[in-house]
Structure 1
Amino acid sequence: MQRLAGLGRAGLFPPEGSVPVAQLLGCQLARFLHTGLAVLAAKELLVKLRKKTGYSFVNCKKALEKFDGNLKEAEGWLHDQAQKEGWSKVSKLEGRKTKEGLIGLLKEGNSAVMVEVNCETDFVARNAKFQHLVQQVAVGTMQHYQETVEQLSTYAKCFLETRELSQLRLGPDGSLLSDQLALTIGKLGENMIMKRAAWVSVPENFFIGSYVHGAPPTGNPLLSNMMFGKYGALVICSPPEPYQKSNFVELGWRLGQHVVGMAPLSVGSPEDEPRGDSETKMLAQPFLLDPAITLGQYIQPSGVSVLDFVRFECGEVTETAEAE
């Protein structure tokens, strides 16, 4: 007993009237679990913010610490910082040549959009962040015309250049495409230009053929509704009655393929002879996949009339660029 009392005086057992050992250990365990759960929760927040924004772990951690784990405020702060950094890089990189890039093609119902966005290197053109920017330009263009154009009795074809594209707003938050451009420049560190966009819309009894060539590797599910490449074409067609859209999907693809490969300057007419200046007229050109016949002869059995087309080639010099 004396020995046990000595142990108590030595502090190995709690003195009489103090907190029991089991309770003391329970408190320590609770504190340990609480700390562990807090660390786990903080880590989950960090991963969530990183995945949602795409910014570095270092910056995401800094943002969460700055706002005591408030995810919404941290995300807003990261966006503001990235925007400032992006615009800073825009001014530094301005003037650097942008010969690479992508053509992006988006179809939605009876409308289609084709855009060209340029960057400095093909390496960046293959980056998912750059491709997402191309998608944003296409979606912004589509939304702009859906809100401004009424129901059509015939087809419509409109074009937008760099300055007009930069002022388009995107999505529910109404952010400018120019801001999205700055963010992407800030992330990838290359000069970029939203060069041009074409929007085409047709009534129910028409169809739009489309084709993109030289597409980069796919695999990003967020971009599954887009087609990307170095060349693209939209072909406006009037089919015979009665009209089943599914019957003309392949024909539309072949027509777009011909426009990309043969680069006509005008549609022409089926009566044009395949010689002289008619070589630039689409219907008089030798059909890309069977040069023994003209394109006009190829489509004649289908009863389809080609009314118009748009062709984009990434990096080509346009009339607007020449004027500038």
Structure 2
Amino acid sequence: MTITAQQVKALREKTGVGMMDCKTALNETGGDMEAAVDWLRKKGLSKAAKKADRVAAEGLVGAVDAGPRAALVEVNSETDFVARNDTFQALVKSVAELAVGAGGDVEKLKAMPFPGTGRNVGEEVTEAVATIGENLALRRTAELGVEDGVVATYLHNAVAPGLGKLGVLVALQSTGDKDKLNELGRKIAMHVAAVNPLALNADELPADAVERERSVYAEQARASGKPDQIVEKMVEGRMRKFYEEVCLLKQTFVVNQDQTVEQAVKEAESDVGAPITVTGFVRYALGEGIEREESDFAAEVAAAAGV
């Protein structure tokens, strides 16, 4: 059978092994990807393949800003110990810098050339598996930009400049003073980190989430036995409260509990010297949504001791 270049590329990204060895492995196994991985392992050629199935839920979030644009990346490792490794930190920083220009497309980012290596970003991450000794994964990336203004960044639990466990971007469109805009944006980003809003405003909330809340409130209101017109008013009142709880601009600002975020932005316009529009935000919490393996530490110790 004919082995395609796409098959060879996919096996290389999965194992970190050279192109010719990957082609040989696929030829030897009739193009079966998993069998090819095993063939490489048996030959002692693939270090990365041995680790490919391990859960990587630790790691770092990297942030970088470039004037009116900024990007986030999440690169996962198996243990928090690796997140403190200088080699791993340098890798995440480099990937974050390249992410400004990927437009939030992780596959595009993986395909971008990694400087000074002759490899692309995805291949460089795979290469690092063998060097660092754990499964690694470039999980996701996001990018925000404005025509005029700033995209502020904030990293919580920072372990080094531009690296942390939780990263936030906030985009502010304005012709005003950029330093003051960035200060405001950082405060809003800290708010986003703490409160975790679902959307910028009600229009950006997922339709299914809105409908689910409305359905629950309607059922509760009908149970009161009130007339339909009263039920409708009760539902609308509860929905307004829901929007205040989950929409960034309507939330109570953690920096000043007497204001909403929207009011704080409006007040800042006189200091900045121009109107301000919050155009978007992104929040990455390390490992969120990844199903972690449960381990029995006592059993692991006993097994290691031969008990």
**Common fold, TM-score beyond 0.5?**
yes
Return the letter of the residue paired with 1:251: L
Tell me if 1:260 matches 2:193: yes
CA distance in structure 2 between the partners assigned to 1:132 and 1:86 by the alignment: 28
Q: Which runs of 5+ in 2 are unaligned?
A: 1-42, 203-236, 270-275, 291-307
User: What is the aligned length?
Assistant: 207
* In 2: Cα distance, 1:168 partner to 1:86 partner: 29
Letter in 2 for 1:313: A
Work out whether 1:120 is the aligned partner of 2:85.
no
The counterpart of 2:114, out of the listed 142, 146, 170, is 170
Q: TM-score, normalised by structure 1?
A: 0.59
In structure 2, how many angstroms separate the alpha carbons of the residues matched to 1:174 and 1:261? Answer: 41
**Secondary structure of 2:48's aligned partner:** helix
Aligned to 1:293, the other structure's residue is in SS state coil
Give CA-to-partner distance per residue, 1:278-321, whole Å, 9 cap, x none: 31100111112233321112222113221111111110128xxx
Equivalent residue of 1:88, what SS? coil
Flag structure 1 segments of 5+ consecutive residues without an equivalent. 1-84, 146-157, 219-225, 319-324
1:12-71, CA deviations, whole angstroms, 9 ceiling, x for partnerless residues? xxxxxxxxxxxxxxxxxxxxxxxxxxxxxxxxxxxxxxxxxxxxxxxxxxxxxxxxxxxx
The amino acid that maps onto 1:308 is: G
Structure index of larger Rg: 1
For 1:139 and 1:159, the matched residues in 2 are separated by 13
**1:309 aligned residue:** 281
1:209 Cα deviation after fit = 1.6
Take 2:48 and 2:141, find their aligned partners in 1: how far apart are those partners?
21
Residues 86, 123 of structure 1: alpha-carbon distance in 2 compared, 3 angstrom cutoff? farther
Supply the AA of the counterpart residue of 1:247.
Answer: K
SS of equivalent residue, structure 1 residue 296: helix
Q: Note if 1:288 corresponds to 2:223.
A: no
Report runs of 4+ in structure 1 exceeding 4 Å deviation: none
1:164 Cα offset (Å):
4.0
Secondary structure of the corresponding residue to residue 200 of structure 1: strand
Aligned to 2:173: 238
- Give the fraction of aligned pairs with identical amino acids, expressed as a percent: 31
Q: Normalized against structure 2, the TM-score is what?
A: 0.62
> Could you say what secondary structure the match of 1:209 adopts?
strand
Distance 1:112 1:90 in 2: 31
Distance 1:232 1:94, change over 3 A: same
Task: Say if 2:64 and 2:153, in contact at 8 Å, map to a contact too.
Answer: no
How much has 1:173 moved relative to structure 2?
5.0
